[in-house]
Structure 1
Amino acid sequence: MQKTENNNNLIWFRNDLRTMDNAVLYEAQKDGNPIIAVYCFNPNHFTIDKFEFKKTAKFRAKFLIESVQDLKKQLKNLNIDLLVFHQQPEVVIPELCKTYNVNSIFFQKEWTSEELETEHAVQSKLNSINWYAVYNQFLFHPEDLNFKIEQTSQVFTNFRKKLEKNVTIRPELQPKTYPESNRITNNTKIPTLHDLGFEDFETHPHSAFPFKGGETEANKRLIDYFFNTKKLGFYKKTRNGLVGTDYSSKFSPWLANGCISARTIYWQVKNFENEFFKNQSTYWLIFELIWRDYFKYVSLKHGNQIFKLEGILQKDYDWFINQTQIQQWINGETTSEFVNANMIELKETGWMSNRGRQNVASYFAKSLELDWRIGAAYFESLLIDYDVHSNYGNWMYVAGVGNDPRDRKFNVELQAERYDANRKFRNLWLQPTLF
């Protein structure tokens, strides 16, 4: 690519770190103009938040580095260079536009406050650029809905039935390979954990998520979980498990970073059903993808209300901030062994099962009556699979200020008896010799 050429396209990667079924890449390739790509490790994402947590802790940081490393390789196979910076996008992108005569910028459409603030900061420095924001993270595309986004139901079942009955899932989008002439000199380096402010660390031997980031690893996991072991066929029976790598699909970290699309997973479930069998388990994996979509539509509808104490229901409960209780919860030192085991697992691995998350969140918000946003912020920091929509949607749900029509409270001791009857999970994480 020559610096003097006009009409160069820039792809600004964020939470869409893949080449397969990437609508942003697809749109950028449509006009045939030369393409460069950029990813910014934004220092703002590694600062301390208002609740004194690091916004992105080491587990998510490591997975993100791995995901960007793999994206760089995948794009190189298409003769597209990924420029990587450890700087704010509003510093980097205007400079790139000047250097490479960029005419159009393509990026994944986001709608939550921090992402929009970053977009506005970049746009304020670039007046004569064409901006293309592309919906790129849904199973059911927003343009295909048979209702307006502001009419998204407050009840998941109503939402699911409307979509399942009336909306077709779009096919996957295939990327194109560019000629060698699209390549540029790329001396940029992907930051290390140390560059981002962390020490190197080894994955915990008991981690239920010992996998690496990136599109390649996501596809490897899918092939293994679906076609090699056929564990997809037992998903509904095992999904409430607590120990090991295969009680659930473990797709969520790759989905959260956009290393794989929900549509790719959906169409591979359909391939599995055509090749092997169809049962409640194969459907249930799609059911969970619809839940993921639901929380995205809830945040699209309600905007920043999902971050407010009263939630989307605008319920006025008494919430408390008790630092002793918060620290006991974080460190796994509460009166509940089941809560403690789950919280220690999170602290040591950056992972927690869905069953565990529901229980520790309910304990935090309903039993201790602590400000649920503090729990949500801690999850945001630690979880490898942090997704703003699912995280805050689920926390609101459990706290009684979201989309749960029943406003339930978990009995953590009964849950422990039901899901950890043999104490295998609690024994695994509560052994003092481990630490």
Structure 2
Amino acid sequence: MSDRTILVWFRNDLRINDNEILLEAVRKADKVLPVYCFDPYYFQPTSGGAPKTGSFRARFLLEAVADLRKNLQGFGAELIIRIGTPSDVIPQLAEEYHVNEVYHHREVAYEETNISEEVEAALWKMRLNLKHFIGHTMYHKEDLPFPIKDIPDSFAVFKKKVERDSNVRSCVPTPDHISVPEIADAGELPTLQQLGLTEPVDDPRAAEYFQGGETAALVQMHKYFSQLDIAIKQKNGRNGTEFSSKLSPWLSIGCISPRQVYWEIQKYGSNGNLLKLELLWRDYFRFMFKKHGQKFIKAKDEVQDLAPDAELLLQKWKNGETGVPLIDAAMHELNATGFICNQNRQVVAGYLVNTLKADWTQGAAYFEEKLIDYSPASNWGNWAFIAGVNDAKESKYAIATKLPKELEAKTDFVNTWQPSSIDEAGDLVSA
């Protein structure tokens, strides 16, 4: 009898620890075929001519895939890397390696789900099954106290019911071994140039350098909780800490799972509440996309009331040339590093929507290009909240407005010019 082989299609789950599809494949198959596919769709220019995926995020992804390959090799396995459309690549590999089934983690945003459906249709023609797993949230869908169609649109209600009536599952074990078939051509990791991008230039003003991969993710998690330990002992900061975990880049492509972070948080009681809240918001946005699909980020028969010179204002916002130091510094940092803190994201988004009256979808698309930690549900869900186009009953955050002079003392990403009036920064609190 021939060996049973399961192809594990890695997407936004670039890790070995707490990876259900990998563990299940090891348990159910004689051989496991790990595959990562660089889909040209994500590296093509948008209608505006900008890359859909910017250089910082692409470099982070390349590092993460390289780290996944290295970690798999540590288990005696290998990662097959290909450049091409998944609906072509996955069936080809399935045929070449006599695969019996394909595993992957289900996505929720329409571009990702469309790609899954194309792969599923292609495999169906070969009489192969694409098995879907759920592994991107802190709370598992099956453990929610309501079916997806009845999830409260209000985050406050969602939070109250989930925290009261649901539990977070334990992390799944790491496989002891991973047996793979004999692989003739594992494929080379592409370069940024092969993906149509240039090498990003690291700005010396950047406070952090984000290294892609599970190895770096675990280091960052350990670093954050070590800092939290010190802060608690010193009784310093809000609930023990005022600093960001900066785990979002690794969470966005699954180098670390929300459950792994959650179970570390549990060791710190109320001192971990802020980080736990952020993880719950990530869950909420994913579940909203699962419930509403694209309707969650579309206005109901409404036309945006745009400023007459909205395009020009959008460009000034992108370039950090609004004349408001708070806004411009944040945009300079985003452009130079691919990362800004969550509060500044809310502030610059609110300014684009409420003060400049520019197209919020263009702002969301710009974040998609630039952010290292771009995640479709969180990015577009956040922007839709600020633009007020969905059914949410309350704002995401009460953003405290910082005066420009306060920001100037804390960051190097500030223009040399001065705003014409301090009042230009007056309407910065997101809706």
2:372 is matched with 384
* 1:232–1:282 Cα contact (<8 Å) kept: no
- Structure 1 residue 267 and structure 2 residue 266: aligned? no
1:69 is matched with 66
Structure 1 residue 333: Cα displacement: 0.6
Structure 1 residue 29: Cα displacement: 2.0
Structure 1 residue 391: Cα displacement: 0.3
1:26 is matched with 23
Q: What TM-score, normalized to structure 2?
A: 0.88
1:415 paired residue among 401, 404, 408 = 401
- Structure 1 residue 43 and structure 2 residue 40: aligned? yes
Tell me, in whole angstroms, the C-alpha distance in 1 between the residues paired with 2:82 and 2:237: 39
Tell me, in whole angstroms, the C-alpha distance in 2 between the residues paired with 1:374 and 1:232: 39
Tell me, in whole angstroms, the C-alpha distance in 2 between the residues paired with 1:36 and 1:350: 33
Tell me, in whole angstroms, the C-alpha distance in 1 between the residues paired with 2:163 and 2:341: 27
Tell me, in whole angstroms, the C-alpha distance in 2 between the residues paired with 1:235 and 1:20: 32
Q: Indicate how the Cα distance of structure 1 residues 91 and 235 shifts in structure 2: closer, same or farther if over 3 A, else same.
A: farther
* 2:120–2:129 Cα contact (<8 Å) kept: no
2:56 is matched with 59
2:305 paired residue among 318, 321, 333 = 318
Tell me, in whole angstroms, the C-alpha distance in 1 between the residues paired with 2:174 and 2:183: 19
Cα displacement string for residues 153-200 of structure 1 (whole angstroms, at most 9, x for unaligned residues): 121111111111111110001121336665534441011122212222
SS, match of residue 377 in structure 1 = helix
Cα displacement string for residues 53-111 of structure 1 (whole angstroms, at most 9, x for unaligned residues): 31101010000000001111122222332101121112211110111001100001113
1:356 paired residue among 319, 339, 344 = 344
Q: Indicate how the Cα distance of structure 1 residues 214 and 431 shifts in structure 2: closer, same or farther if over 3 A, else same.
A: farther
Cα displacement string for residues 321-367 of structure 1 (whole angstroms, at most 9, x for unaligned residues): 72211110100011322111111111111011111111110111111
Instruction: Report the residue type matching 2:226 in the other structure.
Output: F
Q: Please identify, of 44-53 and 286-295, the stretch whose mean Cα deviation from structure 2 is larger.
A: 44-53
Instruction: Report the residue type matching 1:207 in the other structure.
Output: A
2:296 is matched with 306
Instruction: Report the residue type matching 1:225 in the other structure.
Output: Y
2:252 is matched with 256
* 2:106–2:113 Cα contact (<8 Å) kept: no
* 2:297–2:380 Cα contact (<8 Å) kept: yes
Cα displacement string for residues 412-431 of structure 1 (whole angstroms, at most 9, x for unaligned residues): xx8222x8626224554325
Q: Indicate how the Cα distance of structure 1 residues 232 and 256 shifts in structure 2: closer, same or farther if over 3 A, else same.
A: farther
2:427 is matched with none
Structure 1 residue 318: Cα displacement: 2.1
Structure 1 residue 8: Cα displacement: 0.9
Q: How many residues align?
A: 411
1:82 is matched with 79
1:244 is matched with none
2:100 is matched with 103
SS, match of residue 416 in structure 1 = coil
Structure 1 residue 7: Cα displacement: 2.6
Structure 2: gaps of 5 or more residues: 418-431
Instruction: Report the residue type matching 1:100 in the other structure.
Output: Y
* 2:21–2:104 Cα contact (<8 Å) kept: yes
SS, match of residue 10 in structure 1 = strand
Cα displacement string for residues 187-237 of structure 1 (whole angstroms, at most 9, x for unaligned residues): 410111222122223422222331201000000011111036636746747
1:346 paired residue among 320, 331, 334 = 334
* 1:20–1:175 Cα contact (<8 Å) kept: yes
* 2:310–2:357 Cα contact (<8 Å) kept: no
SS, match of residue 301 in structure 1 = helix
